[in-house]
Amino acid sequence: MNSHPSGRLGDMSGRTAVVSGASSGIGLAILRRFLEAGATVHGLARRDRLIEEQARDAAPEADRLHHHSVDVGDPEAVRDWARRFSGPVDTLVCAAGTNIPERRLAQLTPPVWDSMLATNLSGTFYLLHALLPRLREARGDVVVLSSVAGAWPDHTGPAYQAAKAGLLGLARGAGMDEYGNGIRVCTILPGIVNTPILDDRPEPPPQELRDLFVQPQDIAEACLAAITLPKRACIAEMTVVATALQSMGNTQAATPAPPREPRSAVRPGTP
Ligand SMILES: NC(=O)c1ccc[n+]([C@@H]2O[C@H](COP(=O)([O-])OP(=O)(O)OC[C@H]3O[C@@H](n4cnc5c(N)ncnc54)[C@H](OP(=O)(O)O)[C@@H]3O)[C@@H](O)[C@H]2O)c1
């Protein structure tokens, strides 16, 4: 089976996607963008009713948007859902993720560590593993939402960073094991993105700065481009940062400093 029947960049007609973390932020933006691009989309989240509420307008036909209540950090719940779920899957996006205000090393406890790793790392493995036969059948696409926190040190906390670095390893290993079966694996490493996850920071960033952050729709466009690129090419990893605030490897500041006045705005004679 060809997972990208039309072969046109940005066109998902005829495709069926599963998107985790689809009730909010990046996952919701990806689910909406996939619907606009013509796909049938199954959104997963614990608060799955939010998916219906927030995305129904993007899919006027009732049979293209489906929502499922699944806790991705629970292996039995994922396995049971995958058993009940019928039909093909040619695209899997793993965007479910979380962080906690008490994220410093000294504040973490073993149960909190386990829970952070379950949602942010193991959940992606559980989904990928459960859907692998169908992804193989479709010679499909997998997109993993890691983070720049998995590539460079920052203030997101050791549990979050360990999980996001683990996702890079999982995606690289899965790509190595499955490219021969026609599966493309793409890891997206976003910098700071304006979503509700930022509200769980010990000090949430100010609203005026959030307009300069990457927006969830930007990640959705990047994701769509990766999975509708001609199948002969695979974007294995992409880092997406806020142009005005961050750059590759320069993502350490929890709240990046606002940009300085552009040079052209400095009046002649000003020291
Ligand atoms: N925003 C950023 O700056 C940023 C930067 C880099 C990477 N990321 C990553 O991008 C992904 C999306 O985050 P976001 O910023 O869009 O955050 P968000 O708005 O808080 O959305 C998180 C999503 O994950 C779902 N989720 C959380 N725990 C879950 C669980 N146990 N089972 C199932 N679903 C669960 C939530 O749904 P329910 O609560 O309804 O279950 C929600 O849909 C995450 O992996 C995050 O780590 C975000």
- Kindly report, residue by residue over 197-225, the tens digit of the pLDDT: 999 999 999 998 999 999 999 999 999 99
Which protein residue has the closest C-alpha to ligand 1 atom 21?
A: 24
Q: pTM of this prediction?
A: 0.95
Beta strand 237-240 with 65-69 is unpaired
Regarding the beta carbon of 154 and ligand 1, being less than 6 Å apart is answered no
Instruction: Report the pLDDT value the prediction gives residue 1, as an integer from 0 to 100.
Output: 60
37 and 224 in contact (C-beta within 8 Å)? yes
Cα–Cα distance for residue pair 76/128, rounded to 1 Å = 14
Residue 265 has pLDDT above 90, yes or no: no
Q: Nearest Cα to 20, choosing from 167, 165, 237?
A: 167
pLDDT tens-place string over residues 117-171 = 999 999 999 999 999 999 999 999 999 999 999 999 999 999 999 999 999 999 9
Domains, the chain, ranges and CATH?
16-265 (3.40.50.720)
What is the band of 266 on the pLDDT scale with cuts at 50, 70, 90? very low
User: In the chain, what is the straight-line distance between the N-terminal and C-terminal CA atoms, in Å?
Assistant: 65
Site to probe by mutation for ligand 1, drawn from 48, 119, 197 as the one with most ligand atoms within 8 Å of Cβ, is 197
